[in-house]
Amino acid sequence: MNDTELRRAYDALLKARSSDGAQGQVSLERMLALVEGRGTEAERVATLDAVMADPVSARELALLRAVAANRPRQAWPRWRMTIPVLAAAAALLVVTTPALRDFVGVSRSEPMRDQSNGPALISPTEEALPRDSRTFRWHPVAGARGYSLEILTATGTPIFTTRTTDTTVTLAADVQLAPGVEHRWWVAGELPDGTQRRSPFRRLLVRAR
């Protein structure tokens, strides 16, 4: 997958917005700049915060990032995502937009999926001491066969992803969240039909002590 595929996904989102009438609050151009790492850090932080507040934009960003994450490593060194997260992120948006079903070859007879009722995040809180920021907990989603946890920098770069069948993940010793630096994290419950129910993003600031 290359830059052409990312542009195709972008164009499909434009078509979906015009045909479905579902307008995200964040422009696709701003989200594409975030995915590609363009602009200042302040601009990228502002874009991510705006996306976090809008479920439609969050789904669109998930697809753009999923496509970008599948590009060859040498062409995309800053983006890393596991295959389960890639598949789940793409499925999250494809099932809700006819134009994107065309993009990935999904039949228009595919039923709509309910993307509500995602995992309710428990801990850590938005500000936490180092000892309290190592374990991530959330409430289960009925019928979920597994969960994907992702932690990002405030500018949208993934720094940790994992999949689990539990509702608790403790970071390994080699995964360090820098004190005084804002992070974002979210969890997606994966359903048997291949779709997912995702939580909102939550801010996480690890206090120095």
Q: 129 with 192, same domain?
A: yes
Q: 79 with 33, same domain?
A: yes
Q: 128 with 179, same domain?
A: yes
Q: What is the pLDDT of residue 122?
A: 96
User: Percent of the chain having pLDDT more than 70?
Assistant: 74
Mean pLDDT of 93-105: 45
Q: What is the pLDDT of residue 71?
A: 53
Q: Which of 104, 132, 160 is the last residue of a domain?
A: 104
Q: What is the pLDDT of residue 107?
A: 39
Residue 209 has pLDDT above 90, yes or no: no
Q: Which of 48, 76, 104 is the last residue of a domain?
A: 104
Q: Which of 46, 73, 104 is the last residue of a domain?
A: 104
* Choice between 152 and 101, residue whose per-residue pLDDT is larger: 152
Tell me the sheet residues that pair with 197: 189
Q: 130 with 188, same domain?
A: yes
Q: 135 with 190, same domain?
A: yes
Q: 84 with 17, same domain?
A: yes
Q: What is the pLDDT of residue 20?
A: 61
Q: 199 with 151, same domain?
A: yes
CATH classification at residue 163:
2.60.40.10
Extract the tokens encoding 193: 């039909």
Q: 41 with 132, same domain?
A: no
Residue 116 lies in a domain: no
Mean pLDDT of 113-142: 87
Residue 119 has pLDDT above 70, yes or no: yes
Residue 113 lies in a domain: no
> For the chain, how many helices (H) and strands (E)?
6, 9
* Choice between 131 and 110, residue whose per-residue pLDDT is larger: 131
Number of structural domains the chain divides into: 2
Task: Tell me the three state secondary structure of residue 110.
Answer: coil
The contacts found for 48-52 with CB under 8 angstroms, 24 or more apart, are: 48/152, 48/154, 48/155, 48/156, 48/184, 48/201, 50/25, 50/26, 51/26, 51/201, 52/184, 52/200, 52/201
Domain range spanning residue 173? 121-206
What is the widest separation between alpha-carbon atoms in the chain? Answer: 54
H or E element, residue 30? helix 28-36
Lowest mean pLDDT among 24-38, 89-103, 109-123, 183-197: 89-103
Residue 69 has pLDDT above 80, yes or no: no
Q: What is the pLDDT of residue 10?
A: 79
Q: 9 with 99, same domain?
A: yes
Contact 143, 192 (CB under 8 A): yes
Q: 55 with 91, same domain?
A: yes
Residue 83 has pLDDT above 60, yes or no: no
Burial class of residue 118 (count of CB atoms within 10 Å of its CB; 0-12, 13-18, 19+): buried
* Choice between 141 and 52, residue whose per-residue pLDDT is larger: 141
Question: Confidence band (pLDDT; 50, 70, 90) for 2?
Answer: low
Distance CA 180, CA 84 (A): 30
Extract the tokens encoding 5: 């595929």
Angle (nearest 5°) at CA 126 between 123 and 26: 115
Mean pLDDT of the chain: 76
Mean pLDDT of 120-125: 95
